[in-house]
Structure 1
């Protein structure tokens, strides 16, 4: 059963959380560490990468997230946040490590989560909280983490508290979302869930919804699977439109005039850490009832190959065409390349022997000073916009007549 509360309700009797150990200081763990440190909490950011640890301690971490870099350098954060390669004792331990897929069978690789839990066992004391932020398959807490704690001599829900609070943040907008997005917290018992709320109380401006561990695990996966399935539907409509030789964007716009229809826009595929991964976690635990989910996942997985085929057909009249590809992030106006379909498209073309130069204005080492000059200097035959960054779309709109007059074909996805 799920219940609702504000960020401060029902937690007054719970033991305060003053010292936090965060295992994994990546896209999720580091923003949490910075937010807690900025509110005066003592935070230990644990990472196996010595260079990351040094950069955290020096305030010199070079990531493509301007606000993260600036907040890391704040005096309060530098005073309260320390990077380490090994865990230490604390009031609360947050597991924030990735759960990737194994290839080619698309099963979750639990080794990072299990190693993270193993690493904190020597430092746990009675009354401590273990809070899992990693996105995990359903039943992970019950079938993996609870037995790990029990084998070490702890009784989760009695002498050790256990909760799961999956993250909800977007690269490029991390610090707004970590503050304003509602939190779902599942606990092995109500006390554990309420104790976990103490972690977020210092900075959270949204509501907290309490539930059990399995429901929290499922909730995160349902959120991302919902989005993935709806993207797949739009992509399949686009394929039908292509077959009928009509513009699918126009048809989708017309369909959305219906008061109860809100179709998404088709694209070249789905990237990021969550959407290409999380639906497979559901398939892992219940393959019998995930036919729609896995079909949608396969539709989105095949879109980069379909996009590459469209480009091949478009350049068929050119002899050894020189192609400039614009966009390497997995979504517009972003720098994140994880599971980027744009990169898959370029890889497909390069494997076919096409000459492709790949740029992205938001990614270090892939930028350009002037698009027109870049196209001219490379004597490009074709410019392919794979990711519609706002600035890139504006640039190409301004260059439209120049491209035509110089016999440069433009393909926009």
Structure 2
């Protein structure tokens, strides 16, 4: 199939890099986003997120006329939907997948669809979301036929292809990683493969839409379970007065053991979210997956307890102080090292809780952002040196490269809570 014009709906951490990579292959790309600020930024050849290599890619694509952004969908040959799938509350449940953004994206492109177009859902979604998207499109455009209605002879092709990239390496992995492609029909899958062949060097593996949806959820649930084991182990070791970092190093010398490193929790819009999609649809069966999620979701409170213990020890040696006189520095807000993405970040959640306790006596060091989120209003966005000079207690939450360069002796006469084992391993 020929795809002269490709539209990407949602210009966030996945949509914008995808749009830029396709545009770099000299295809006309129309990016669509509800944020006028993001649209204006992109049309200047700039980016509104932090991702290595992306700034140059977008700048070149815009200047050469292959990429432009808009707030309203326009006709294209293929549409890639890359919008969020958050949670909502429903009948006492807190982790119900919310398809509102996918529905809105579907209804936005429906008026400009024409026979022969391809629509791909890239958003990580619960099983059945691609079929639901197709149903919304079919309802909005009864003059067109869809694969669930007429099979292979449909006017519109519909498929699911989840992204499988690592923040900080998105541009490279979009090109190099294999893609799992699940069409509603075989011809839908083949059409989607033709699109990804434009820029993907990895292999495209065809399956059903439901299996493709479940594949992404399975990958991140597997990782979540393994992280939960490491996080639970760190709590056990603290109770037993054992250095968990040394323990894991020793255990990993076994040829068939590879324990991950513990941390302050699990963040990002994948590992911290995707397992709940499985749990929401199969609550009685997904017992291990649910437990892992609960272990990882509880880890931030354990870290807060560690910080409060450190505050207690500090006050024990400084009787003229109160808790609100103690200055705490939190190093890192992002959900993983060396990015600016704060989505579902346990570091941010921990810092927010400490901010409520400490008010203005909280220093936040996050080298990848220029302003603090509104939830931390009143706290100070600090540099590393200021934090090391002023803080009584240092809390390492994210192992950014800049933090790893700090020599351990800089923490003398200060209490240190190192959740990543940078200095205490």
Q: Could you state the TM-score of these two structures normalised by the residue count of structure 2?
A: 0.88
Aligned mate of 2:349, from 320, 325, 344: 344
Structure 1 unaligned regions, length at least 5: 1-14
Partner of 2:423: none
Partner of 1:359: 365
Partner of 1:382: 393
Structure 1 residue 363 displacement after superposition: 2.5
**What stretches of structure 1 move > 3 A for 4+ residues in a row?**
75-78, 365-369, 371-374
C-alpha offsets along residues 246-292 of structure 1, whole Å, 9 cap, x if unaligned?
Answer: 11222222222222211111111000111111111111211111111
Structure 1 residue 368 displacement after superposition: 5.3
C-alpha offsets along residues 26-62 of structure 1, whole Å, 9 cap, x if unaligned?
Answer: 1111111111111111111111111211222221334
8 Å CA contact retained: 2:62, 2:68: no
1:51 paired with 2:17, answer: no
Aligned mate of 1:148, from 133, 136, 142: 136
8 Å CA contact retained: 2:10, 2:31: yes
8 Å CA contact retained: 2:42, 2:69: yes
Three-state SS of the structure 2 residue aligned to 1:82 is strand
Aligned runs of 1:10-21 on 2, under 5 Å? 15-21=1-7
C-alpha offsets along residues 297-317 of structure 1, whole Å, 9 cap, x if unaligned?
Answer: 111111111101011112213
How far apart in 2 are the matches of 1:183 and 1:402?
46
How far apart in 2 are the matches of 1:75 and 1:159?
31
How far apart in 2 are the matches of 1:343 and 1:21?
33
How far apart in 2 are the matches of 1:101 and 1:391?
33
Aligned mate of 2:411, from 387, 391, 403: 403
Structure 1 residues 99 and 77, CA gap change in structure 2 (3 angstroms): farther
Aligned runs of 1:12-411 on 2, under 5 Å? 15-74=1-60, 78-103=64-89, 105-142=94-131, 144-151=132-139, 152-153=141-142, 154-157=144-147, 158-317=154-313, 318=315, 319=321, 320-353=325-358, 355-365=361-371, 371-376=384-389, 378=390, 380-395=391-406, 398=407, 400-404=408-412, 407-411=413-417
Q: Which has the higher contact order (CA 8 A, sep 6+)?
A: 1
Three-state SS of the structure 2 residue aligned to 1:45 is strand
Q: Could you state the TM-score of these two structures normalised by the residue count of structure 1?
A: 0.90
Which shows bigger deviation, 299-308 or 167-176? 167-176
C-alpha offsets along residues 352-385 of structure 1, whole Å, 9 cap, x if unaligned?
Answer: 336221111233347755x345432x3x211221
How far apart in 1 are the matches of 2:197 and 2:170?
17
Structure 2 unaligned regions, length at least 5: 148-153, 316-320, 373-380, 420-425
C-alpha offsets along residues 169-202 of structure 1, whole Å, 9 cap, x if unaligned?
Answer: 2222111111111111000111111111222212
8 Å CA contact retained: 2:51, 2:339: no
